[in-house]
Structure formats: C-alpha cells, structure tokens
Amino acid sequence: MAPSEEPVTLGVLPLATRALYVAAQVVAHLAVPLLLFGLVWRGRKEPAHMRHLSHRFGLGPVGPQGAVWVYAASLGETRAASPLIRRMRAAGHAVLLTHQSPAGLAEGHRLFPDDPGITHRYVPADLFWAVRLLLARARPSALVVLEIELWPAMLIESTRAGLPVVMANGNLLDRSIGQGALRRHLMALYRLFSVIFTRTEAYRDRYLLVGVDPARVQVVGEMKFDQWIDPAQPDIGRALRARWPGAERVLMIASSVEAEEPVLLPLAARLLAADPGLRLVWVPRSPQRFDALADALAASGLDVTRRSSLGERMQAPMPPAQVLLGDSIGEMNAYYPMADLVFVGASLVDHGGHNIMEPMALGRPVVMGPSTYGIAFAAEPAAQAGALESLPDAAALEARIASLLADPSGLAAMATAAQGFSAHQTGAADRTMAGLLAVLRERSS
C-alpha cells in the first residue's frame, strides 16, 4: 500500500496540543542552564558529552543540501537505521545522520567511516530556533526518525517547513500510550508523520489508537534482522574462542543493565563453580558500567580478562580467565559467535528486554528473564520456533542455563531454529526504502 499522498500540516494537531507546544518551549528555554549543567555533569563520566557543543544549537556540519536527515538517538537505534542508510546511499541519497548520545555518534562513525555522503553530528536541542537553524542550513529532503523518538520542536518545525517526516522501525508500546492529558498531547505528535513504517499489525493498531491516519501506517517488519554483519567480526570471535584455555562451553551475558547485576553476579559465579569447563563473556549495555562490573566480578572471586587488554582485533594471547569482559563498543558480532548460549539482558528486571535479533542472526540460541514486552513482537514467535526461552525468574533461568549447556544436541537444535527464524524475518529495510522513495518522489513532483 502506498503512503497517503496528502501532505501533512500542523492542522492535524489539536489546537490545545499546539498551544501546549508554545508553553513547553517557554519552559524549555528557561531550562537551558539546566541542560548545560546536565551535559557538564554527564561529561564528568563521559567527556564526549561536552564535545561538539555547537551541534546542540543548530551549528556544526550539515553536509550537502537536500540530504535525508536521519535521527537515530542512541547506539541501538543507529544500528537499527544502518540497513536503511546503506540502501539510501546505494540509491544516491546523501544522509545527515544525527544522534543524541556519544555512543550513537561513535557507532555512526564506526559503521560508515569513510563515506563522504554521510554527515555525522549531534542533533540540536529541542528548541524551536535551533531546529529551524539546522533546517535552514541543511535544507533536507525528508526527516527519518527511528523507532519511538518524539521531540516536539523537531517534528513541529520540520512539518512547518514543509518537510515530510517518516518514522522507521516504529516501536510504539502499549505502556508508552499511557493515560493523562500530557501523554495524550504527546501521542498526538505521531499524526505529523507522513508515513510510519512499523513491525506488526499489533503495532499498527496502537498508532491508529492514538489518532494516526490508517493510510499513513505500513507494516514492514523489523529492520534489525537486515543489519549488515562485517564478516571479519565473527571470524575474530571464533578465533579467540579457539585460543581460550579451558573454554569447553561459553555462556554470554549480553546487554545487561545495572539493576540486574546483583542477581546475575552470584548466578554466574555459581554456574562457573559448578562447571570447570564453562567460560563467560559478559557485555553490559552501558559503557559506563565497564569499570564497575570489572570490579564487581573481581570482588566475586572470579578471574576476569578485559577485551581492551587483547589489543586490536583481539589478537593478543587469551589468558585462562573465567570471564571475558566485553569493554568495547561495536564488537557484538565478534562476541556472539564465541558463545554456545546467549542471555539477553533487561529481562530480569521490568525493562522489557534488549536486542535478540543480532544473536539469532548469527545462529545463537537465546534465554531471557520474564520481562520481554519491549521485544515481544520477535520474542513470542522466536519462542514458538524453538529459538528462545523466557524463564519466570532468576532461579529458573540458572537451572535452564545449566541444563542447556549440558545438552549439546538440545543447544544445536535451538541454534538451528534461531538461524532459520532470523532468515525468515528479513526484508523490512527493503520495504521501508521503497516507501521512503515514494515519499521523496512525491515531494519532488
């Protein structure tokens, strides 16, 4: 189904929503000193927050006029956007790639290091004049927003300028809709999108529930299944596994969050104590947790080696450590192939679970805790296919990990199911690109 050809105007927003935007901008401007203080505070632990400060006010590089402006706030959203960006570049479209976080900016540079057609920068603060300044300088052909980001000034000022606004990999959860007047006005901003490309019919229904025109919502699938995998990374991981003394079985803890660590640390220690041939790869979600997790693992009596000690391409000798701490960014596709089984984090606490698509694309079976609402669209069919198991609590998770690691044939069956499930989920990036091209053609006609 082609997207609606009627251009979106601010008239789709209720008058009260537009009035609230004006009031919110007044508050936002009063809060600019707090914004700067927040950047300084975060910069104490992550100095990159203080770099390129001019970007936050609409200055900095914009690249060639007429580029497609892509907003991928974080590292995860940048990865999700990468298949679509590759298709844009193959079709000859320049890209203005913007991020909120330093990790997102770093990942953009890592994924597209030498492409002069991609301009990397931070997104402006959500102040009307900062967004207008970027729009006036870049004159983009469209704005593509990843997943769930709703920044009023970005959306309203882009629409005011006549720019088509597209959502890719739309990820509207039930609990995001919520109750109350403020939440209702925020959800009304989804009506500003010329087209929303989303994952399943259930997601489509949520957009319709908040007032989006049905002609503007398309179900295309999940773009994370289309991510390009650098073939060198799996080879690096497999070679390191082969050099790891005593690594008969390897469990990976992927994308864990801080709130899970008090449960995961003793769980991991017990599993390692019970199985001398077991080794653990642990990659926390946040780079800010690298040092703290290394200290906590050592305090638990575990022998830890940090990936950063292994040099470029992980070619240094691997010591006989029990745990490899993945203290790097952009190397998940090297870590996953090292593992026989992957636990995906943010699932033992009520965070909804993190990315299960990447390990399954590499044929790795997945176990999780009970909280999977954030990735239910993939977790439920993956579980039905036999590629994933969600356990009700930490005790059940620990017992199931131990039983799976002791059952090579069962693990192999799950791995085959994971590979097959992933292979049948591809194509979302192609479908999104076809819809985006239709939007761009309509704008140029």
Residues annotated as catalytic are 77
Size of the chain in residues: 445
Exposure on the CB side of residue 95, measured as CA atoms within 13 A: 27
Concatenate the DSSP letters of all residues of 232-277 into one string.
Answer: HHHHHHHHHHHHSTT-SEEEEEEEE-GGGHHHHHHHHHHHHHH-TT
Q: Which residues contact 357 (CB under 8 A, 6 or more apart)?
A: 222, 224, 225, 227, 378, 422, 425
Concatenate the DSSP letters of all residues of 167-227 into one string.
Answer: EEEE---HHHH-SSHHHHHHHHGGGG-SEEEESSHHHHHHHHHTT--GGGEEE---GGGG-
Selection from 372, 392, 386, 445 nearest residue 417 by Cα: 386
From CA 231, how far away is CA 392, in angstroms rounded?
A: 36
Angle CA 202–204–210, to nearest 5? 110
From CA 29, how far away is CA 217, in angstroms rounded?
A: 34
Q: What tokens does 205 get? A: 């229904």
Angle CA 353–354–360, to nearest 5? 110
The beta-strand segments (E) located in 248-392 are: 249-256, 278-284, 304-306, 323-325, 341-344, 366-368, 388-390
From CA 391, how far away is CA 395, in angstroms rounded?
A: 9
From CA 386, how far away is CA 399, in angstroms rounded?
A: 18
- Give, as one character, the DSSP assignment of residue 161: T
